[in-house]
Structure 1
Amino acid sequence: MKFSATIKALGLTAAVALAPMTASGAQAAGTLTTAVAIDPGSWDPIDTFLVDWSSAANNIFDGLTARGADMKLKPGLATSWEFLDNNSRIRFKLRQNVKFHNGEPFNAEAVKFTFDRLLGEEGRKGPQQSNYNSIDHVEVVDDSTVDFVMKQPDPVLLTKLAGYGGMIVPPKYIQEKGDAYFNMNPVGTGPFKFAEYTPKVSLTLEAFPEHWGGAPKLDKVVTRFISEANTQVAELQAGRIDVATLIPFGLAPTVEKSPNLSLISITGPTVVALRLNTKEGITKDVNVRKALIMGIDRDAIIKAVLLGHAKPIASFQSDLSFGYDPSMKPLPFDLAKAKQMLQQAKVPAGAPVRIDFRGNDATFREVAQAAAGFLQALGLKPSLQPHEPPVLLNDIIPNGKTGEAWHNAWGGWTFDYDNTAYLMYHSGEKWNPYDNDPKLNALLEKQRTMYDVKEREKVLQEIARYVADQALEIPLYNQNTLYGVNKRVKNFDAPSDRRFRFTETTVE
C-alpha cells in the first residue's frame, strides 16, 4: 500500500465549517476567557492529576517553588532552600506577610498542614500522594522555616513542589468548612481568587490585589469546559473565548489564517509511541522490533497527519526533558533494510501485527492507519483494535493483553525523564506489562538516589540509549502544544505544559 493512498483514505482533505468571527460575542474588557476540555470536578490540589485542573488552578494556588513558561525553577512561597544532614533534610525559608484569599496568614503551620494532609488519609484518596512519598514528614522550625525530613532522596521533588498536589492550602478554612466544601470553593494564595463555579460549564476567578507577587492586570479569568475541539475553535472564531486549548491539527491552518486570531505552536511535553510486546509474537525478537521502527516513515506521518506540528523522537521524551540526549538520532526509515531484517529473522509473510489504541483519539487513529499502511508494505498483516480509554489503560495494557503494539501517549509536566522512564520500563510498573530487565531496573533506581545534576543526567541518558538499543517501542513523535488566541490578548506567555499564569496578561 502506497503512503499517498493511505493518506487519501484518511480523509485529510475534508473541510470543516466553522462559525465566522463576530463582534457580538466579545468579552468585557478586563475579562479573559479560556476553554479547556475537562472539568476536574474538584479544585483541591490533592484530588487530581489533570492538566486542565492546573490550567485554571495554577492561578488560585502557589507552591513553595514555582516554574514559569520559561521552564526555570524559581522561588515561590519559599524564598530559599538548602539540603542538610547528607540530603536527608531540606530546609525551606518561607515568604513573609503572605495571605490566603480568606485573610488567613500563610506560615510554617500552613505548610505542615498541607503536607500532613497530602501524606495522610485525605491524600490517600487521590492520585497525588505517590508523587510525594519520598517525604517522611514536615517539621516546623519557626514561623517562617520548615524542614522536609526525607525517607529517601528525590531529585525531582523541588519541581514537584511547583504544582499539583504540593500547592499550599489554608488550614483554618479547610478545618472549618470541610474537604467537600473546599473541593467546590477553593482558597489559595495565588493571583486570582475563586468567585463562581458551575460544574460542567465554567469556573470564574477574580483578581486578588494583595497577591505577594503584585496585583494581576486582569479583572477576571473565566475557564469554560468545552470537550469538543471543533466547538472550541468555533467559539474562538466567534469571539466568545480568547484562548482555545483544543486545536485539531487539521484546523490549525484555519486558525492561522483567521484575521483576528493567532496560532501558537510550541514544543510540548507530550510524546507518542507504539510500545511493543517483548514477551510474545514476532515482536519478542529485538531485531524484528528494530525492523518495525525502520519500516515506518515517521517524518511522512508528521507532515501528512500532524501538518508539521510535531517532531520525530529517538527516545520517549521531548527535547525539553531533563535527561534528553541531543546526540541520539532516530533509526532511519529504510523499507528495504527493514524487509531484509524480517527475512533474516524468519518472519513469515502475512504475520499479524495488532495495534491497540485509544478509540476516542481521532488524530492517533489516522496515525495508526498510516503506520498500518507501512507495516502492510513490509509484508505483514496489521490490524487496528480501538478501545475505550479506561479499558485500554486499566485492563488491556497493565494486564498484558495487548497485541504486538499499543498506543502510548505521555506528557509529564515535570519535564524530567525519570517521571516517564521509571513508570514505563521498571519491572512491576503499570505501564510495563512485559519486561523485567535487571540492568534497566538498576539504572532506573540508581538515578533516583542522585542529587548531582550532571551525574544524574548521564545516567538518564544511558537509560534512553539502552531502551533504544533494546527497541522497547517505536518512538513516533513529540507533539506540539497548540493554542488558538484572539489577537486582543496581550502578554500571553504560552506555557508548553498548559499551566497558565495570567498575572501579566491583558485584553484590549
Structure 2
Amino acid sequence: MTRWNRALRGALLTSALALVSAAQAQTANTLTISSPQDPGSWDPIDTFLVNWSAVANNVFDGLVARTPDLKIIPALATEWTISDDGLTYRFTLREGVTFHNGEPFNADAVKFSFERLLGEEGDKGPQKSNYNVIQSVNVIDPKTVELKLSRPDPVLLTKLTGYGAMIVPPAYIAEKGDDYFNTHPVGTGPFSMTSYTARDAVQLKAYEGFWGDKPKLENVTFRFITEPSTALAELQSGRVDMVIPPSVPIGSLPTIEADPKLGIVSTAGATVYSLRFNTRDGITADPKVRKALVMAVDRATINEAILAGQAKPIASFQSEQTFGNDPSLEAIPFDTAGAQKLLDEAGVKPGATLQIDVRGNDSTFNEVAQAVASYLSTIGITATIKPYETNVLLNDIIPAGRTGAMWQQTWGAWTFDYDNTAYLMYHKGERWNPYGNDPKLDALLESQRGMTNREEREKVLHEIARYVADQALEMPLYNLNQIYAINKRVKNFIAPPDSRLRLTDVTVE
C-alpha cells in the first residue's frame, strides 16, 4: 500500500469515526417515543385525549402544574390566593416569560386564553364545561389576574394544571387563525413544536428561552404508531426509545422483560376501563337487563387471566386514588343464575344479540371484550365485537349516539376527582352521555359542584357512585396501571400516573 493510499485510508477512517461520533451525540440528545394516537389538533381547547397531553404538556404551560406525585406547584403563576367564599382566584404571574414565537406572556394572554375557551371557539371543543364556572377574567395589572367564579368549584385549581386551561399567545392566534394554530401550536413550555405530519409524527425541540430548568434533551420525536405489535417491534429494533400507554399489551410484558436492552416502568394510575350501556335503545334500555349483563361476567377471573397483575377490579368508574371513591361499595357479584333470572323477568329470550364497540388498536381490551362475549354466551346472549379506529369511535360514534348496546370507555380521570368523570359521563347533554336523561342524577351531580365542605361533597360523590351502580349504567371492569416500555438507555424517566409526560429531566445515553 502506498503512502498516499495509507493517508487516504486514514483520513477516510477518521472521517467515518467523526460521523459515527456525531450520530451518537445526536442520538444521545434525542428521544423517540411511540404514541398510539394522533389527536388531530394541538389546540388545548379542542381535546380531551391523554395522548394529546403526553406531547402537549411539553409545549404548553398553565398557571399551575402538577407533579408526578400529584402536588400542585407554581408554573406561569408564582403564587395565588383563593377568597374565603371560593369565588375569587388571584394569580401573581411569572415575569420574563415568552411564548415560542417571542411574544410576551402577561395577564392579557391569560384573559385571552380563558375568554377564548369560554367563548365561541370553546363551543367547538369538549373542554368548556370543565371551566364554565369562570364568570369573568379581570386584569389587575400586567402581572396580576383574577378569575371570578359564579359558584365555588373545589376541583378548579387541579383543572388549571391541564388541557383547556393552557395559556396560548393572543397575537399569534390573531395573525395566523385558529385552523393554523391547530397544527402549528405555540406555547411557553420547555419544548417548541417544529413540525407535525398528521398520522405520522411530531417533532419537538428544546426551547432556549424556557422560563424554568432547561431540558436536557435537544429533540423529542413522537411517532404515531397505532398497532401495538408494530410499536413493540420498533422498540426492539431501537428505532423508538419508549412506548407509552395504552400501547403496551399485557401479553407482551414477558417478551420485553426478557430483552436485556429493555425494561418496564409500571405505576398505579387513574385510568379505568368499563363497558358503557346504550340506555335508550334495545334490550339494554332495561336496567334489569343491564344488571344481568354485569352479573354474567366474572370480572375477577378476567383480571387474573388477562391482566397479569397490572390491574385492580373496580366497583365504580374510578380508581382507588380518586377523591370520591367509596371503598365500601361492593361490585355487582358474578352470578350466572341470578343473571339468567333477571333476563327471564325482562322477557329476553335466548339468542338475543348485541354489539360491543371497541378501540381497534387496544389489543389488551380486545382480549377482555372477547372474554366478556364468552361469558354473555352462557346466558344466551350472542355478542359481536365491532372494532373502530380510535378517533372515529371517540369523535363520531359515541358523541352522536351511534354505538352498539355496549361500548368501550377508557378514562384517564386526570383530576383524580370523581366529579371530572361522573359529570362528563352521566349528566344530560355531555359528550360522553349520548343516551342518558336522569333528572335525579343530574341534581346530585350539580349539587356537589358548589360544595366547599370536603366531607359533605365526598358523601354526595359516594351517593352518585351508588346510584350509578344501582342503575347499572356501565359494567365497571378494572383500573389498569400505566405501563411504559423503555430502552434502558433512557434515564431519569419518572412515570406519571396520568400519562402527562414532562420530559425536562430525561436523558438518553
TM-score by length of 2: 0.85
- Is 1:381 matched with 2:381? yes
Shift in Å at residue 434 of structure 1?
Answer: 4.8
2:200, 2:224 within 8 Å by CA — same for their partners in 1?
yes
One-letter identity of the residue aligned with 1:315: S
For residue 62 of structure 1, report the CA deviation from its aligned partner. 0.8
Report the Cα offset of residue 349 of structure 1.
5.5
CA distance in 2 between partners of 1:187 and 1:280 (Å)? 44
Aligned twin of 1:465: 466
- Secondary structure, in 3 states, of the residue corresponding to 2:172? helix
- The equivalent of 1:8 in structure 2 is none
- Per-residue deviation, 1:289: 3.8
Deviations for 1:93-124, whole angstroms, at most 9, x for unmatched residues? Answer: 21223233333332212211222332334434
Which residue of structure 2 aligns with residue 418 of structure 1?
419
Partner of residue 86, structure 2: 87
Residue in 2 that maps onto 1:6? none
Give the drift of 1:362.
4.2
Deviation at 1:262, TM superposition (A): 0.8
Letter in 1 for 2:127: Q
Secondary structure of the residue aligned to 1:268 is coil
Could you tell me how far apart the structure 2 residues matched to 1:420 and 1:254 are? 34
CA distance in 2, matches of 1:180, 1:282: 42
Moved more, 37-46 or 145-154: 37-46
Give the aligned residue type for 1:97: G
Cα shift at 1:492: 0.3
How far, CA to CA, are the matches of 1:280 and 1:30 in structure 2?
Answer: 54
The corresponding residue for 2:354 is 354
Matches within 5 A, 1:26-37: 28-37=27-36
For residues 177 and 394 of structure 1, what CA distance do their matches in structure 2 show? 26
Q: 1:339 to 1:312 in 2, by over 3 A?
A: same
Amino acid at match of 1:358: V
Answer with 447-456 or 392-401: which moved more.
392-401
Aligned-pair Cα RMSD in Å: 3.0
User: Which residue of structure 2 aligns with residue 3 of structure 1?
Assistant: none
Change (3 A) 1:29 1:364: closer
Structure 1's unaligned 5+ residue stretches are: 1-24
Whether contact under 8 Å (2:264, 2:485) holds in the other structure is yes
Change (3 A) 1:93 1:274: same
Match of 2:451? 450
In the alignment of these two chains, the number of paired residues is 484
Q: 1:182 & 1:218 partners in 2: Cα distance?
A: 25
Structure 1 distance, partners of 2:414, 2:76, is: 20
Q: State how far apart, in whole Å, the 2-side matches of 1:194 and 1:385 are.
A: 38
Percentage of identical aligned residues: 58
**1:131-142 equivalent positions in 2, closer than 5 A:** 131-142=130-141
Cα shift readout 1:17-46 (whole Å, capped 9, x = no counterpart): xxxxxxxx9761121111212333443323
Aligned to 2:16: none
Letter of the aligned partner of 1:453 in structure 2? R
Q: Could you list the per-position Cα deviations for residues 388-408 of structure 1 after superposition, in whole angstroms to 9, with x for gaps in the alignment?
A: 467766776567666654433
The separation in 1 between residues aligned to 2:486 and 2:355, in whole angstroms, is: 36
Q: Which runs of 5+ in 2 are unaligned?
A: 1-22
Tell whether 2:482 aligns with 1:487: no
- Alignment of structure 1 residues 240-319 onto 2, 5 Å: 240-245=239-244, 246-278=247-279, 283=284, 286-319=287-320
Q: Distance in 2 between the 1:400 and 1:216 partners? A: 44
The CA deviation string for residues 407-439 of structure 1, in whole angstroms up to 9 with x for no partner, is 333333223211221232223444445544333
Q: Which residue of 2 aligns with 1:56?
A: 55
Q: Deviations over 1:328-370 (max 9, x none)?
A: 2323323344445556x37566152513313625443332221
Contact kept? 2:268, 2:497, Cα under 8 Å: yes
CA distance in structure 2 between the aligned counterparts of 1:397 and 1:101, rounded to whole angstroms: 36
Instruction: Note if contact 1:355-1:407 (Cα within 8 Å) is conserved in structure 2.
Output: no
Residue 18 of structure 1 is matched in structure 2 by: none
Query: Structure 1 residue 384: deviation in Å?
Result: 1.3
Separation in 1, partners of 2:508, 2:363:
33
Asked if 1 retains the 8 angstrom alpha-carbon contact of 2:358 and 2:407, the reply is no
Give the letter aligned to residue 267 of structure 2. Answer: I
- Separation in 2, partners of 1:282, 1:121: 39
Q: Does 1:72 align with 2:67?
A: no
Q: Give, in whole Å, the separation in 1 of the partners of 2:276 and 2:480.
A: 17
Distance 2:424 2:298 in 1: 27
Contact 1:138 1:149 survives alignment (8 Å): yes
Whether contact under 8 Å (1:353, 1:405) holds in the other structure is no
Amino acid paired to 1:186: P
Do 2:283 and 2:348's aligned partners in 1 also have CA atoms closer than 8 Å? Answer: no
8 Å contact kept, 1:91–1:147: yes
Contact 1:63 1:161 in 2 (8 A): yes
CA shift, 1:146, in A, is 0.5
Q: Which amino acid aligns with 2:226?
A: S
Secondary structure, counterpart of 2:269 in structure 1:
strand
Aligned-pair distance for 1:466?
A: 1.9
